[in-house]
């Protein structure tokens, strides 16, 4: 019997991760933050790699190839922010690829396409000199304007063609680094990136750059009519961030109380920034597709997590079909590294991906029992279900009664969204539920919205466009007749970041939605990540129990075991 071929991808940027392919298919993957419990953790990759090896039950010697990627570095085999797992061995071989190439391969590897165009837009990619040291054969594809400059340039956006095996760069844009400045509105890395602009405005509004997605949630509360100036300009198909808009923003937030005092002002700023990004993304991608037409597009990079811009991009119909990479941020770099190793370096055929994003390991009933042994857990009522139908029926009834449920099932999702494996679930229309979860369970800002998870075949009933959105990465509009029933998952402007649920890779969550529909008449649940503000999504039963204990969650479901607070 032929031994399987394992390829390991490792991302050492912020939001570090590791992914293991087995014969071209993902068998396990994890973001480092889920293990270290430090939000956006990166750097040394030992924790994430060891998790993958242990989950698959293999040793490092069983891995045929390692592909790695780190921004501004080409990591040493032995040490990178500490000792690495490769330090005592010459094998397996390690190769390096650029930041944008890793993003691009993460998209094509998981996409349903055998051939397509690929767009990468983010905050900052690899420096040009490092890019050329890793991919010298691509120097011919780089505009001489960039090659002749002496200042440091970094990848800003990249456009590729995928032929089913390899990626060919068609248009790569680079930007100089931002200058040292005391200006609050200095872009964090490069001068002219869309992602950098959005992070800068997020910092202005919230005082941090850790969660730029909050800006998208704030924008619907605002009105940009008083901001009659542009943040971006286009020259010869290239996007540039202008400077003159910065003079209009002289009141940066200095904390949450200050933010709340001037909420309307910051909401207006957020609305303006969101609209600017939407226009910039659509203009940039339209330009690339006009130069290099294709009816299938993969879209990735950190900016591709903007669900509002994504929906407008889809509505613009510049491509027949667009695949939005679920792990489009830097957590997806390891995924792209692994696929590069399989497809490009080893020249092996692409294996069809099943659409799942759930790459974490499953915890056994024994591990759950061990986690429950702590005395603090004896205060809860515990039920063990041997029959799945009984478990699903019990949970659906409790949700319809207005209870909140921490839902811990199978291997965790890879990427920023909980999709029914590590989720907090609730009734989408129960009065006051949104405020309760934000304040008493998530411990986060009141304005933050929640997503509706809906049965795929019912999405058109509840939402105007009826988009297929399995990764919660596109917004839609709630139909007017369902605003009340879906009040906790419909934002102030009528929008909703929808997750469509199908049985193939989310069977238990699918069954729960079906049963909840029987109980309530609604085929929708409120779904948000099983964590609180500042905490990575829970990975282990112990972490789920900890969150259950410190929050106002009513019920915790650990596989077939149910805990309910007295």
Taking residues 359-379, report their average pLDDT. Answer: 93
Distance CA 13, CA 280 (A): 25
Per CATH, the number for 6-101+333-345 is: 3.30.420.40
**pLDDT tens per residue across span 52-100:** 999 999 999 999 999 999 988 899 999 999 999 999 889 999 999 999 9
**Domain residue ranges of the chain, discontinuous segments joined by +:** 6-101+333-345, 112-324, 365-564
Query: Which stretches of 24-129 are assigned E, i.e. beta strand?
Result: 25-31, 63-69, 94-96, 116-121
pLDDT of residue 183: 54
DSSP 440: I
| Beta bridge partners of residue 157, listed in sequence order | 121, 173
Is the model's pLDDT at 275 over the cut of 70? yes
pLDDT band at 27 (very low <50, low <70, confident <90, very high): very high
290 Cβ partners below 8 Å, 6+ apart? none
210-234 pLDDT per residue, tens: 667 899 999 999 999 999 999 999 9
What pLDDT shows up at residue 210? 60
Q: What percent of the chain has pLDDT over 90?
A: 90
The pLDDT confidence band at residue 180, using thresholds 50, 70 and 90, is low
Which sign, positive or negative, has the C-alpha torsion 435, 419, 516, 441? Answer: negative
Pairwise CA distance, residues 245 & 280, whole Å: 15
CATH 3.20.20.210 holds for 365-564: no
For residues 187 and 552, give the distance between their C-alpha atoms in angstroms, rounded to a whole number. 39
For residues 260-277, give the mean pLDDT: 97
Give the sheet arrangement for strand 451-455, strand by strand: 381-384, 561-564, 555-558, 405-408, 422-426, 524-529, 451-455, 495-501, 474-477
Task: Say what the pLDDT of residue 188 is.
Answer: 74
**Average pLDDT for residues 407-414, to the nearest whole number?**
98
Write down the mean pLDDT value for the chain: 95
Pure H helices in 57-193: 99-110, 128-134, 144-147
112-324 and 365-564 have identical folds: no
Distance CA 65, CA 79 (A): 18
Q: Quote the pLDDT of residue 81.
A: 93
Predicted confidence at residue 184, as pLDDT, reads 59
Q: Are 130 and 74 in contact (CB under 8 A)?
A: yes
338 confidence band (pLDDT: 50, 70, 90): very high
pLDDT reading at 308 higher than 70:
yes
- Separation CA 276–CA 239 (nearest Å): 12
Q: Classify 248 as helix, strand or coil.
A: helix
Cβ atoms within 10 Å, residue 351: 16
Supply the pLDDT for residue 205: 94
- Residue 407: pLDDT band with limits 50, 70, 90: very high
Strands (E), 333-412: 381-384, 405-408
Cα 343–chain centre separation: 23
Contacts (Cβ under 8 Å, ≥6 apart) of 392:
508, 511, 512, 515
Res. 263: pLDDT tops 80: yes
Q: How far is CA 468 from CA 106, 114, 321, 324, 471, in A?
A: 20, 20, 11, 11, 9
- The architecture CATH gives domain 112-324: 2-Layer Sandwich (3.30)
pLDDT of 209 above 70: no
pLDDT value of residue 12? 96
């Amino acid at each position: 019997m032929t031994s399987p071929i394992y390829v390991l991808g490792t991302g050492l940027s912020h939001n570090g991760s590791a992914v293991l392919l087995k014969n071209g298919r993902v068998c396990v993957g994890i973001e480092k933050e889920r293990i270290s419990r430090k939000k956006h953790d990166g750097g040394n990759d030992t924790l994430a790699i060891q998790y993958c090896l242990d989950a698959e039950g293999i040793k490092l010697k069983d891995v045929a190839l390692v592909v790695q990627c780190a921004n501004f570095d080409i990591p040493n085999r032995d040490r990178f922010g500490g000792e690495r797992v490769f330090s005592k061995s010459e094998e397996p071989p390690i190769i390096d690829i650029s930041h944008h190439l890793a993003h691009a391969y993460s998209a094509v590897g998981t996409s349903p396409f055998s051939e397509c165009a690929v767009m990468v837009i983010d905050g900052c990619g690899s420096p040009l000199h490092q890019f050329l040291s890793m991919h010298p054969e691509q120097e011919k594809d780089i505009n001489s304007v960039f090659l002749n400059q002496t200042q440091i340039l970094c990848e800003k956006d990249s456009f590729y063609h995928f032929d089913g095996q390899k990626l060919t760069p068609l248009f790569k844009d680079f930007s100089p680094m931002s200058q040292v400045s005391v200006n609050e509105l200095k872009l964090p890395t490069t001068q002219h990136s869309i992602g950098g602009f959005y992070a800068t405005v997020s910092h202005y509004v919230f005082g941090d750059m850790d969660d730029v997605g909050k800006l998208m949630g704030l924008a619907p509360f605002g009105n940009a009519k008083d901001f009659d100036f542009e943040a971006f300009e286009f020259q010869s198909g290239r996007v540039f961030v202008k400077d003159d808009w910065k003079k209009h923003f002289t009141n940066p937030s200095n904390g949450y109380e200050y933010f709340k005092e001037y909420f309307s002002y910051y909401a207006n700023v957020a609305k303006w920034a969101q609209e600017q990004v939407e226009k910039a993304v659509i203009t940039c991608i339209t330009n690339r597709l006009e130069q290099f037409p294709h009816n299938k597009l993969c879209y990735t990079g950190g900016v591709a997590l903007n669900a509002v811009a994504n929906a407008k991009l889809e509505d613009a119909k510049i491509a027949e079909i667009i695949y939005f990479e679920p792990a489009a941020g830097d957590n997806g770099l390891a995924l792209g590294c692994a696929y590069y190793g399989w497809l490009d370096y080893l020249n092996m055929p692409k294996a069809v991906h099943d659409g799942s994003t759930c790459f974490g390991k499953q915890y056994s009933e024994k591990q759950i029992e061990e986690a429950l042994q702590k005395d603090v857990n004896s205060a809860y009522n515990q039920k063990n279900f041997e029959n799945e139908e009984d478990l699903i029926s019990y949970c659906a009834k409790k949700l319809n009664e207005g209870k909140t449920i921490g839902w811990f099932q199978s291997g965790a999702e890879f990427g920023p969204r909980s999709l029914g494996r590590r989720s907090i679930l609730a009734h989408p229309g129960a009065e006051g539920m949104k405020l309760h979860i934000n304040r008493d369970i998530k411990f986060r800002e009141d304005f933050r919205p929640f997503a509706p998870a809906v049965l795929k075949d019912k999405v058109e009933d509840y939402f105007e466009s009826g988009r297929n959105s399995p990764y919660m990465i596109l917004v839609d509009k709630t139909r007017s007749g369902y605003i009340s029933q879906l009040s906790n998952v419909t934002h102030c402007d009528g929008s909703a970041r929808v997750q469509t649920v199908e049985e193939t890779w989310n069977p238990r969550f699918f069954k729960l939605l079906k049963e909840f529909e029987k109980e309530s008449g609604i085929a929708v649940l409120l779904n948000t990540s099983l964590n609180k503000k500042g905490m990575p999504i829970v990975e282990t039963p112990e972490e789920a129990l900890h969150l259950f204990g410190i929050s106002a969650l009513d019920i915790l479901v650990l596989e077939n075991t149910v805990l309910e607070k007295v």
